[in-house]
């Protein structure tokens, strides 16, 4: 009998069964370490699925949240508020964008982006120009529109009919894209690194080529940087590495450092199509969320944080190479900055979740990206000792799984 009023078994009694959480219940986190109900400690290589960009309970974020919590929690968008304005200003000052729309999640940011792309085309070119082109294996969220634009059938199945006017084509294949684009195309949407799809980075030539094709067809380039953004790749946003500028960009996950927030960034020209009354969100621009996100961007967008992401990537890779040398379980290790994917060899296909569970038992929190890829998306400021210790534990987990 557990002394805790709620436990993992409560989950099966009270929760819709759409998740299957691990057996322990985490109760506390500090930096890149987490403790469960029994007091057992874990090294966090998951960062809450690429969310806790500054680890757990970073003092600067805690203090921003505490301060804001005693000033103003919520207003609605009938009024504006200081944290939202300051955050929007930061985003604009540090990116291509001229205008910002706030919401509460990645899916909502993408929903806004897709609606804006349609509306912009409608306003400027008429109703026939409504087709959104996206890529197989892509992930853009779980609302009906975003699972439709997303390139993974399993997230759509059973939920049809889905919205029309969406076309999928192969990622990193410019010729395939060319053949599906037309005067009907209003936008091409992509993740600079496909996250959920298996940690697959786009080729630089691919993104450049998409930009050119979009310009030729009067289509907008929409970058979904929900996972790749806010320092994850070592740049504030991943597009900054490609010499390509989007028309619309979506951000969430790391942006709030663990507090729910999403944003859609756009150029002035495009943003105009979201005129008064066209779109909205009750909580979008919530002062608590914006006060925290403001400190996240101010902390992340510094050389001390961004310039170290590459070093930490190298440290992860060194450990993964060592594990590979000993156990030969990886087909490929890829990714950028602190979004790293290790694809399992065929013998271990479908076993990603077994490695994840074994790692949790040994005291390391991991992620998977699909059934065959182990994914690492830790805090951008994870201490080197924590990388080393978490990897030692992961190696013990690998030894267990491979000898079983
Ligand atoms: C996680 C994710 C989303 C969805 O974000 P939510 O906050 O879960 O709605 C959208 N796009 C990408 C690339 C993501 O990784």
DSSP annotation string for 111-164:
HHHHHHHHHHHHHHH-TT--EEEEETT----SSHHHHHHSS-GGGTTTS-S--S
- Spell out the SS3 assignment of 199-268: CEECCHHHHHHHHHHHHHCCCEEEEECCCCCCCCCCCCCHHHHCCCCCCEEEECHHHHCCCCCEEEEECH
Judge contact between 197 and 138, C-beta under 8 A.
yes
Judge contact between 246 and 222, C-beta under 8 A.
yes
**3 domain residue, yes or no:** no
Identify the residue whose tokens are 């410019």: 174
**1 domain residue, yes or no:** no
Rounded CA separation 119/313 (Å)? 40
Rounded CA separation 138/250 (Å)? 14
Question: Which of 144, 195, 202 has most ligand 1 atoms within 8 Å of its beta carbon, as the pocket-test mutant?
Answer: 195
Nearest of 145, 117, 88 to residue 274 by alpha carbon: 117
Return the bridge partners of 133, or none: 167, 188
Helix residue ranges, H only, 279-302? 287-300
User: What CATH number should be reported for the domain holding residue 141?
Assistant: 3.40.640.10
For 353-374, the DSSP string reads HHHHHHHHHHTEE-EESSSSEE
Q: pLDDT (tens digit, 0 to 9) for every residue of the chain, 404 residues total? A: 457 899 999 999 999 999 999 999 999 999 999 999 999 999 999 999 999 999 999 999 999 999 999 999 999 999 999 999 999 999 999 999 999 999 999 999 999 999 999 999 999 999 999 999 999 999 999 999 999 999 999 999 999 999 999 999 999 999 999 999 999 999 999 999 999 999 999 999 999 999 999 999 999 999 999 999 999 999 999 999 999 999 999 999 999 999 999 999 999 999 999 999 999 999 999 999 999 999 999 999 999 999 999 999 999 999 999 999 999 999 999 999 999 999 999 999 999 999 999 999 999 999 999 999 999 999 999 999 999 999 999 999 999 999 98
Last residue of a domain, one of 267, 300, 333: 300
**194 domain residue, yes or no:** yes
Alpha carbon of 253 to ligand 1 centroid (Å): 7
**17 domain residue, yes or no:** yes
Which atom from ligand 1 is nearest to the alpha carbon of 262? 7
**66 domain residue, yes or no:** no
Quick one: pLDDT at residue 1?
Answer: 47
Which atom from ligand 1 is nearest to the alpha carbon of 141? 4
* 131-135 and 185-190 strand pairing: parallel
**Coil, strand, or helix at residue 7?**
coil
- 17, 104: one domain: no
Rounded CA separation 223/208 (Å)? 13
Question: Which of 49, 107, 199 has most ligand 1 atoms within 8 Å of its beta carbon, as the pocket-test mutant?
Answer: 107
**388 domain residue, yes or no:** yes
As given in the structure block, the two tokens for residue 96 are 């291509």
Q: Is the peptide bond before 161 cis (omega within 30 degrees of 0)?
A: yes
User: What CATH number should be reported for the domain holding residue 362?
Assistant: 3.90.1150.10
Rounded CA separation 298/11 (Å)? 37
Judge contact between 163 and 144, C-beta under 8 A.
yes
Which atom from ligand 1 is nearest to the alpha carbon of 195? 15
Question: Domain of 114?
Answer: 72-300
What digits encode the pLDDT tens for the residues 209-268? 999 999 999 999 999 999 999 999 999 999 999 999 999 999 999 999 999 999 999 999
Question: Which of 226, 255, 289, 377 has most ligand 1 atoms within 8 Å of its beta carbon, as the pocket-test mutant?
Answer: 226
- 94, 233: one domain: yes
- 112, 238: one domain: yes
Judge contact between 227 and 202, C-beta under 8 A.
no
Question: Which of 18, 141, 284 has most ligand 1 atoms within 8 Å of its beta carbon, as the pocket-test mutant?
Answer: 141
Q: At what angle do helices 82-93 and 287-300 cross, to 10 degrees?
A: 30
Alpha carbon of 121 to ligand 1 centroid (Å): 24
Rounded CA separation 90/85 (Å)? 9
**196 domain residue, yes or no:** yes
Judge contact between 86 and 251, C-beta under 8 A.
no
Alpha carbon of 107 to ligand 1 centroid (Å): 6
Last residue of a domain, one of 300, 325, 348: 300
- 244, 361: one domain: no
- 241, 351: one domain: no
* Phi and psi, residue 207, nearest 5°: -65, -40
- Note the pTM of the prediction, 2 decimals: 0.98
Which atom from ligand 1 is nearest to the alpha carbon of 194? 13
What digits encode the pLDDT tens for the residues 105-135? 999 999 999 999 999 999 999 999 999 999 9
- 271, 340: one domain: no
- 112, 216: one domain: yes
- 134, 104: one domain: yes
Structural domains counted in the chain:
2
As given in the structure block, the two tokens for residue 283 are 């909580």
- 219, 285: one domain: yes
Quick one: pLDDT at residue 4?
Answer: 87
**352 domain residue, yes or no:** yes
Identify the residue whose tokens are 């936008």: 187
Last residue of a domain, one of 300, 320, 347: 300
Ligand 1 — pocket residues by CB below 6 A? 105-107, 110, 139-141, 191, 195-196, 224, 226-227, 252-253
- 282, 386: one domain: no
Nearest of 400, 384, 375 to residue 46 by alpha carbon: 375
- 201, 275: one domain: yes
- 100, 137: one domain: yes
Query: Interior CA angle at 190 toward 250 and 140, to 5°?
Result: 60
């Amino acid at each position: 009998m557990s002394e805790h009023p709620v436990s993992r078994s409560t989950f099966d009694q009270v929760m819709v069964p759409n998740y299957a959480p691990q057996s322990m219940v985490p109760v506390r986190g500090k930096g890149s370490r987490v403790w469960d109900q029994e007091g057992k400690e874990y090294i966090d290589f998951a960062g809450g699925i690429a969310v806790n960009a500054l680890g757990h309970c970073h003092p600067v974020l805690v203090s921003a949240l505490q301060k804001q919590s005693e000033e103003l929690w919520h207003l609605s968008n009938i009024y504006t508020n200081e944290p939202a304005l300051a955050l929007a200003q930061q985003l604009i000052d540090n990116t291509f964008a001229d205008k910002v729309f706030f919401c509460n999640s990645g899916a909502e940011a993408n929903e806004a982006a897709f609606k804006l792309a349609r509306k912009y085309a409608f306003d400027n070119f008429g109703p026939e120009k409504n087709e959104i082109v996206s890529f197989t294996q892509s992930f853009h969220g779980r609302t009906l529109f975003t699972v439709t634009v997303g390139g993974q059938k399993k997230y759509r199945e059973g939920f049809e009919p889905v919205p029309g006017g969406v076309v999928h084509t192969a990622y990193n294949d410019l010729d395939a894209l060319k053949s599906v684009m037309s005067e009907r195309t209003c936008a091409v949407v992509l993740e600079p690194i496909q996250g959920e799809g298996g940690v697959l980075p786009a080729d630089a030539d691919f993104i450049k080529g998409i930009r050119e094709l979009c310009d030729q067809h009067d289509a907008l380039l929409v970058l979904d940087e929900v996972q790749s953004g806010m320092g994850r790749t070592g740049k504030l946003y991943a597009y900054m590495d490609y010499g390509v500028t989007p028309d619309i960009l979506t951000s969430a996950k790391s942006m709030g450092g663990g507090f729910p927030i999403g944003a859609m960034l756009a150029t002035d020209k495009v943003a105009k199509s979201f005129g008064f009354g066209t779109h909205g969100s009750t909580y979008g621009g919530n002062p608590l969320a914006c006060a925290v996100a403001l400190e996240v961007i101010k902390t992340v967008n510094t050389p001390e944080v961004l310039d170290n992401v590459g070093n930490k990537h190298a440290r992860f890779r060194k450990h993964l190479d060592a594990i590979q040398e000993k156990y030969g379980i990886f087909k490929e290790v890829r990714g950028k900055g602190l979004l790293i994917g290790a694809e399992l060899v065929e013998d271990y296909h479908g076993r990603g979740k077994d490695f994840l569970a074994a790692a949790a038992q040994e005291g390391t929190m991991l992620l998977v990206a699909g059934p065959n890829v182990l994914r690492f998306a830790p805090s951008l400021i994870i201490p080197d000792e924590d990388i080393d210790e978490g990897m030692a534990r992961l190696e013990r987990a690998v030894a267990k799984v491979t000898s079983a």
